[in-house]
Structures are given as structure tokens and as C-alpha cells.
A and B are shown apart, each in its own frame.
Chain A
Amino acid sequence: MDCCGGMDEHDETCTEVKVKDGVDAGTVAAAKRLESENYSAGFVTDIEMDFAPKGLTEDTVRFISAKKEEPDWLLEYRLEAYRRWLTLEEPTWARVNYPKIDYQAYYYYAAPKNSAKYKSLDEVPKEILDTYAKLGIPLREAEVLLGVEGAAETAATAREKPRVAVDAVFDSVSVATTFREELKKAGVIFMSISEAVQEYPDLVKKYLGTVVPATDNFFATLNAAVFSDGTFVYVPKGVRCPMELSTYFRMNAESTGQFERTLIIADEGAYVSYLEGCTAPMRDENQLHAAVVELVALDDAEIKYSTVQNWWPGDENGKGGIYNFVTKRGDCRGARSKISWTQVETGSAITWKYPSCVLRGDDSVGEFYSIAVTNGRQQADTGTKMIHLGKRTKSRIISKGISAGRSDNTYRGLVSVHKKAEGARNFTQCDSLLIGDKCGAHTVPYVENRRADAQLEHEATTTKLSEDQLFYVRQRGIGEEQAVALLVNGFVREVLQELPMEFAVEAQKLLEVSLEGSVG
């Protein structure tokens, strides 16, 4: 089997992959495409680009808004954010160290030439389609209809192939969105946020910035000023979205910041599962990524948001890599609503990210499942905030941090129970696994409780990958790298189970690749 078809410099790195029962050949093939000696997504696509002038001024903001032919209210929103941003200081409380960022050294808008005019997939330049194909993300609906590569199939569902609709964002713009027509029939709006601004301005205006206000924090404010593109999803009342929705973010251009903005609204009784994947080329300089994701769940609605983040982490000496400063927040605005975050973070040089839930509606539920892997010189400061406002609100936090190499991995979480949150409950479990003795794991849980009847549980463990375990596994015939992967997969199993099947396989493979060379 040509398991690395279309790959560039890593053609020779095909190896056997072990898969669990019930995973079909297509999944294996797709997972194989993800592997390489190092970072298979690290190639650069050579295509003509439109850039905003380098640096950030009021003109940059106006340029972006004009490029997107935005209405006045949105330009005003951006300008207000920009002016506020000028007065803000970059936060320094996270346990991460990096040289001061020169915000004038980046491009705030980079788009493939003529991208604004793509009417259909046929107009999308071949180079871009090839890029996504290389990453294993099919955009042509014809292909998708045959079953997404990487889609899982168990014997029971063999006839009904799972399908995933994809929005592909290339640097600052969305280049293609699949399955739109079919989703439209179900009443689901799935498009880039730039298009949504044009087509559904009222919806966007109603919800944009209501979960993460433009004033929220330094990076969110920056995003509000210069956000380029991202995904907009609206699932109407009582509709269960008929397929998984996903966005693949790709940063390609040099010295570029990506400031995506995602807004997902599940109206009363609606359900949607959304997946996000990210990659970037290997570059020597640090690229900037400051995204904002807002989720709104109304009464009885449920949103499941999964991320597999594989931004370029920099080389083993800490050169290059993505600075990932992300504000993700879900608002359980309605009663009995539920928002669930699942994240697998293996990439980025710096990760600063706390997907959170505001449990406003009575009986609403927030969940956070996280696997954060750091290797080499990576630094991650990630966790969640669960804000209990409504009665009988429940939250659950399962965090698995894995540190290897000379990396630093911090879990930082807040559980806050407000005065009116009668009978609120939280369960938190933070486990850290250390591989080697030059890395660090830190757990920083904050609790603010204003209710005597709140039930808050917290468990935390830190373990070292033990010589005993490693020898036991190797004695049975399993090589060192695979033994580490097996032990790590066991460690994160609870979280992997929360991912949709096709992503779980991808995530498993990513973990293996991320930890290569971490022992011995």
C-alpha cells in the first residue's frame, strides 16, 4: 500500500502502525499519513499571496475590514478593540518564558491571491487543494461522499460511513467549505465567519463578542481588532447536526499571525459536534496565533468541541514554533445545556490556553478533557475555568499532562462557584506524567467557592514513566518507542475516549510522533 502518497520529503518514513480492533484500513492509511520522523505537516506551500502591510496600525485594521467588505458596525467593533489594545499590557502570569514579541514584525493579513473570488472548489488553486490533501483533509465533496479518509468504521456501521464537513482556513481566509448545501437542508449554517457577516449579519451581530468580549484580555482584544477568518456555525432549534463539522487551520505564510474567530451557536435543543485541527510549516521564526472561540448553548442544547492541535513546536533547541495564545469560552446560557471541550495539544512552542465554561443556565453541564504533551523545549500553560452561576450546575475536569525532553507543562484551572449556584458540583482530576528528568510538570488549581453546599472534588497525581513498566513492556517484545507510546496511550485513555473515533486514531498517532526520541 502506498501509505505516504503525496508526501514530500518524508516518503521513506512509512512504518507499520498498530491499530486497535474495529479500525478500518482507511483510518490506518490516514493515520499513517500523519506520521513522519519529525513533523510531516512541516512543508511550505508555494503560492502567490496578498499581504496587508507588515505591522499593526489603525490602517491595518481598516485594510482587513475593507478586504472583507465589512459593514460599518464591525469596522467600529474592530477599531474600538484596537484602541483598547493599545492601552493593554501583555499578561505575564503564565508559567511560560519567551522573548518579547514585536507585534510590528508580523503580517496581520495574508491570503492566497484572488481568494475573495472563489465561487466554488473548482476555483481554489491546486496548490491549496494539494496542501490539504497532503494533510489528509479532503475538500472535494465527491471524495468526502466516498467517506472521509480517516473516518472510522466499525463492522456495525460499515454501510453508513461517517461524514465530516470541512471548513478549510488557509492563513487569514477560509478557502473552502464542504457539504454546505446538505447542511443547509437541515437548517444548519456552516460557513466562514466572513461569509456569515455578509449573509447572516443579524445572527453574527447578536452573538459576536457576547461570550468573549472584545475587552476580555490582551490577546482576545487583539483578535477582536484583527481577526481574519474562522468558522461560523448555527444549529437551529431542535436540530441534531447530521454530521461532524470541522475546521482545519493552516498557517503557511512567513511572519504571519493567524487570528481566527470561531462562533458556534446551538439553539434550543440542538446538538453539534465540532472538530478543529491545526498545522503549520516548520519555520525558524516564531509565528503568532491568537484565536478566539465562542460557543453559545441555549436551553437543552449541547456542543461538543474537540481540538487536535499540532502547530509546529519549534526544533529541539527551541528555535521557531508557534506562539499559541488562545481564548476559548463556552456559555451554557440555557437551562440544561451542555458544553464539552476535548483537546489534544501536542504542538506549539508556547501554549496559553484555557477553554472554559460559563455555567449560567440552571442544571447546565461543563466538561473539559485535555491531553497536553510537551517535548523538546515546548512550554504549555493550559487548563480550564468552570464558572458556576446557575443552580445545580455540574462540571468535570480531566487533565492529562505529559512532559518530556526539557519542556515545561502546567495545568492551571479555576473552579468558581458563585452565590446563586445552589448545589453546584465539580470533579477535577489532574494527572501528570514525566518522561525523563529534565522536564517539569506543575499543577495550579484555583478554587473560589461562595456556597457551603457545593461539592468540589480534586484529585491530582504526578508519576514518572517507570523503568519497571518500560522493562516489563519491552520484555514482552515491544520496542522502546512503541512501549513509551503504549504506556502514554494508557495514561491518556480516559480522554482519548471522549474524542470522535477518527480523531482518536489521529491523536494517538500524534502522541507517538510527539514523543519520539523522548527516552533513551
Chain B
Amino acid sequence: MLKIENLSATVGEGEGATAILHGLSLSVPTGEVHAIMGPNGAGKSTLSYVLTGREGYTVTGGTATLNGEDLLSLDPEARAAKGMFLSFQYPVEIPGVPVMTFVRTAMNAQRKARGEPEISAPEFIKKSREIAKVLSLDPEMLKRPVNVGFSGGEKKRLEIYQMMMLEPRFMVLDETDSGLDIDALRTVAEGVNALRSPERGMLVITHYQRLLDYIKPDKVHVLAKGRIIKTGGPELAHRLEAEGYDGVLAEAV
């Protein structure tokens, strides 16, 4: 269970710091998929960064725990080892570091942090091959440097590849649908759905209802002005798609 209580956070330092999250509360029980929708500037990406420990974001109040363990005091890598995974809205290029080397290094770093043995090379390659197939990724791509020269769609698929390789316990998908055509969206959704399990939770951040046709959420939350202002079932997403955010925002005031 991911449990966020009364979370407040600012971005920037000193005089220039801006408050983005204002007492946000949210619980995603293990095994469930929740979606977060909201207008631009609502704090969606900030929430994903605060949960995963990015520098430059300061928590000014509240708590966030994963399965009862505090997340906010940990370094990003320690949170990753506990099972937090963020699929980035804008995946970053890492020149000179091949995908396979990167993911294997990450996997073994996490395993080491958890006191588990390293994955063997044949085991790793087998797993990588299987996942690449599910995501229709060219195996040659996995020998190229991370995200360098990849198209927008390829980058997003590579995020899902990493997620499937690392098998996190909690996944945050930040606008994974942006920049994807409908075929790529379907492929990506298949990968994500393959990871749905009673042992995992997921937070899907999106602007559009479209993605939720493929990744069906148990609950939909509306994030605005740094707080969750409304929670409902999948039908809430359809309503937002039809009416826009204005109606929901007006109700919340």
C-alpha cells in the first residue's frame, strides 16, 4: 500500500521556492491501479518527483509510506531498492551507456541493496529477450546507448522495458501516453498490464482518458491546486473527458 498523508511540498530554493502540493492525501492499496488526472500545473509531476526523491523538491509537511515504510527520508536509489519505479514523462539520454549495461547495473544495485544475489548473465539476457518481444523492441536497440537517438515512442517503450525488467513493487507512470500513437499505446499498455498483480500497486498520471481504456484503473483521482479534489471510479475519467475539468473544479470549491 502506498499511503500519502497530508503531503505538502515546494520546488526551488530559498526566496524562489514555490509551494506546489498543499496537503495531498491518497492511498493506493497493493494490487490496485489508480489514475491521477488533472489540469496543467496541478502538481502531477511534482507528486511523482516527491515520491521518488528528486533533488530540488522540499517536503514541508505530511508523510508518504510504502507498505508501512517511510519513503521521504530515503535517497532515490534506496526508494528504488524498496520497489519504487518512475516511468519518466521525458526519459533522459545517457550517451555511451548501452541499455543492457544500464539495466543490469540497476538491477544488481537494487539486488545488492536488498541483500539478494546478482542476476547471472544468461538469466538476464533471457529475461531481456522475452520482454523485448512483448514490447516489440528491436534487440539491437538494447545494445545502443540509453535513449540516444530514440524516437518519442521508443523512449516510452524503453521505460516500460526497464519497469518490466526491474519488477518494482510500486510504479508511477508519468504521462506515459504522451507522444505515443495508438499502436504504440496498445503495446505499452500490454506491458503495463502484464505487471498488474496482487503484489503490486500503480499510479497512472495522465491528461487523457484514452490511456485508461487500455490500463483500466480501480480508482480515478482528480488532482488540482496541489490536492486531490475528487475521487471516483473509472466513470470519473469519462466524465472529465466529456466535460473538461471546469465542472469538477467548480464542485470542489
Q: Is A477 a contact partner of B113 (Cβ separation < 8 A)?
A: yes
Q: Is A467 a contact partner of B95 (Cβ separation < 8 A)?
A: no
Q: Is A471 a contact partner of B106 (Cβ separation < 8 A)?
A: no
Contact with A475, one of B52, B56, B95, B105 (Cβ below 8 angstroms): B52
Residues of A within 8 A of B76 (CB): 471, 474-475
Q: Is B80 a contact partner of A474 (Cβ separation < 8 A)?
A: yes
Q: Is B86 a contact partner of A475 (Cβ separation < 8 A)?
A: yes
Whole-angstrom distance between the Cβ of A215 and the nearest chain B Cβ: 42
Q: Is A478 a contact partner of B109 (Cβ separation < 8 A)?
A: yes
Q: Does A206 contact B (CB under 8 A)?
A: no
Contact with B along A482-497 (1 / 0, CB 8 A): 1100110111111000
How many chain A residues touch B (CB < 8 A): the figure is 28
Given A478-B105, A478-B106, A472 contacting B96 (CB threshold 8 A):
no
A4-B39 Cα distance, complex, nearest whole Å: 57
Whole-angstrom distance between the Cβ of A435 and the nearest chain B Cβ: 15
A43-B102 Cα distance, complex, nearest whole Å: 35
Kindly report which residue of chain B lies nearest to residue A471, judged by CB atoms: B54
Q: Is A473 a contact partner of B94 (Cβ separation < 8 A)?
A: yes
Contact with A492, one of B54, B84, B96, B106 (Cβ below 8 angstroms): B96
How many chain B residues touch A (CB < 8 A): the figure is 37
Kindly report which residue of chain B lies nearest to residue A473, judged by CB atoms: B94
Q: Does B108 contact A (CB under 8 A)?
A: yes
Tell me how many residue pairs across A and B have CB atoms closer than 8 Å.
87
Q: Does B152 contact A (CB under 8 A)?
A: no
Q: Is A480 a contact partner of B75 (Cβ separation < 8 A)?
A: yes
Residues of B within 8 A of A468 (CB): 92
Contact with A489, one of B55, B56, B96, B166 (Cβ below 8 angstroms): B96
Residues of B within 8 A of A474 (CB): 53, 75-77, 80
Kindly report which residue of chain B lies nearest to residue A490, judged by CB atoms: B96
Given A487-B94, A491-B95, A476 contacting B108 (CB threshold 8 A):
no
Residues of A within 8 A of B112 (CB): 16
Q: Does B81 contact A (CB under 8 A)?
A: yes
Q: Does A160 contact B (CB under 8 A)?
A: no
Q: Is A479 a contact partner of B86 (Cβ separation < 8 A)?
A: no
Q: Does A21 contact B (CB under 8 A)?
A: yes
Residues of A within 8 A of B113 (CB): 477
Whole-angstrom distance between the Cβ of B86 and the nearest chain A Cβ: 5
A486-B145 Cα distance, complex, nearest whole Å: 12
Q: Does B101 contact A (CB under 8 A)?
A: yes
Given A469-B92, A479-B77, A480-B77, A490 contacting B145 (CB threshold 8 A):
yes
Q: Is B166 a contact partner of A477 (Cβ separation < 8 A)?
A: yes
A89-B169 Cα distance, complex, nearest whole Å: 67
Q: Does B162 contact A (CB under 8 A)?
A: yes
Q: Is A472 a contact partner of B88 (Cβ separation < 8 A)?
A: yes
A467-B113 Cα distance, complex, nearest whole Å: 23
Contact with B along A27-41 (1 / 0, CB 8 A): 000000000000000
Q: Does B236 contact A (CB under 8 A)?
A: no
Q: Is B75 a contact partner of A472 (Cβ separation < 8 A)?
A: no
Whole-angstrom distance between the Cβ of B211 and the nearest chain A Cβ: 21
Q: Does B206 contact A (CB under 8 A)?
A: no
Q: Does A18 contact B (CB under 8 A)?
A: yes
Within 8 A of B (CB), among A115-174: none
A490-B92 Cα distance, complex, nearest whole Å: 14
Q: Does A20 contact B (CB under 8 A)?
A: yes
Given A468-B92, A469-B94, A18 contacting B86 (CB threshold 8 A):
no
Contact with B55, one of A467, A486, A487 (Cβ below 8 angstroms): A467
Residues of B within 8 A of A467 (CB): 55-56
Given A477-B80, A490-B96, A472 contacting B105 (CB threshold 8 A):
no
Kindly report which residue of chain B lies nearest to residue A494, judged by CB atoms: B96
Q: Is A486 a contact partner of B102 (Cβ separation < 8 A)?
A: yes
Within 8 A of A (CB), among B22-79: 52-56, 75-77, 79
Q: Is B105 a contact partner of A482 (Cβ separation < 8 A)?
A: yes
A483-B97 Cα distance, complex, nearest whole Å: 11
Within 8 A of A (CB), among B82-116: 84-86, 88, 91-97, 101-103, 105-110, 112-113
Residues of B within 8 A of A20 (CB): 101
The 9 closest A-B pairs by CB, nearest first: A490-B96, A477-B80, A476-B106, A493-B96, A477-B110, A490-B97, A474-B76, A472-B92, A478-B109
Query: Can you give 16 A-B contacts (C-beta < 8 A)?
Result: A18-B108, A466-B92, A467-B56, A469-B92, A469-B94, A472-B88, A474-B75, A475-B86, A476-B106, A477-B109, A477-B113, A483-B77, A486-B94, A486-B97, A489-B97, A493-B96
Known: A477-B113, A480-B77, A490-B145. 9 other contacts (CB 8 A): A473-B106, A474-B75, A475-B84, A476-B80, A477-B107, A479-B109, A482-B109, A493-B97, A494-B96
